[in-house]
Amino acid sequence: IAGITQAPTSQILAAGRRMTLRCTQDMRHNAMYWYRQDLGLGLRLIHYSNTAGTTGKGEVPDGYSVSRANTDDFPLTLASAVPSQTSVYFCATTDRGYTINQPQHFGDGTRLSIL
């Protein structure tokens, strides 16, 4: 079934450790996004990518980095995790990268706890 795969589903991580959240899509969508969801704050954009080879910063990019080597994969890396990065992370895609006329599709999320 076509869609977005996020891995891991959940993770408990010690503070200071490096962690990469994976996101893979098989829909060939140009644009991909990473959001974090926190209680009472809704979803906030971390980073985005319009197309392979390009990335941009969202609302809350500090402490996170992304890469977009190809169309299908958009990993999110926490170089040195801190407890405030405890959250649920969602990857999303849009099938036209240069407009927002198309709705975004979401993965099932990664629940990350930093201790």
Partner 1 sequence: AQSVTQPDIHITVSEGASLELRCNYSYGATPYLFWYVQSPGQGLQLLLKYFSGDTLVQGIKGFEAEFKRSQSSFNLRKPSVHWSDAAEYFCAVGAGQAGTALIFGKGTTLSVSS
Q: Per CB under 8 A, does 52 bind partner 1?
A: no
**CA-CA distances (angstroms) from residue 45 to 60, 67, 76, 105?**
6, 15, 12, 14
Q: Which residue has the tokens 């599709």?
A: 105
- The residue from 5, 50, 67, 113 that contacts partner 1 (CB under 8 A) is 50
If we measure between CA atoms, which residue out of 41, 40, 18, 31 comes closest to residue 106?
31
Q: Cβ closer to partner 1: 12 or 15?
A: 12
Q: Is residue 19 within 8 Å of residue 113, measured between CB atoms?
A: no
- The reply on whether position 89 binds partner 1 by CB under 8 A is no
| Cβ–Cβ under 8 Å, residues 77 and 18 | yes
Q: How far is the CB of 43 from partner 1 (least distance, A)?
A: 4
56 binds partner 1 (CB under 8 A): yes
List of residues contacting partner 1 (CB under 8 A): 4, 31, 33, 35, 40-45, 48, 50, 56, 58, 90, 92, 94, 98-101, 103-109
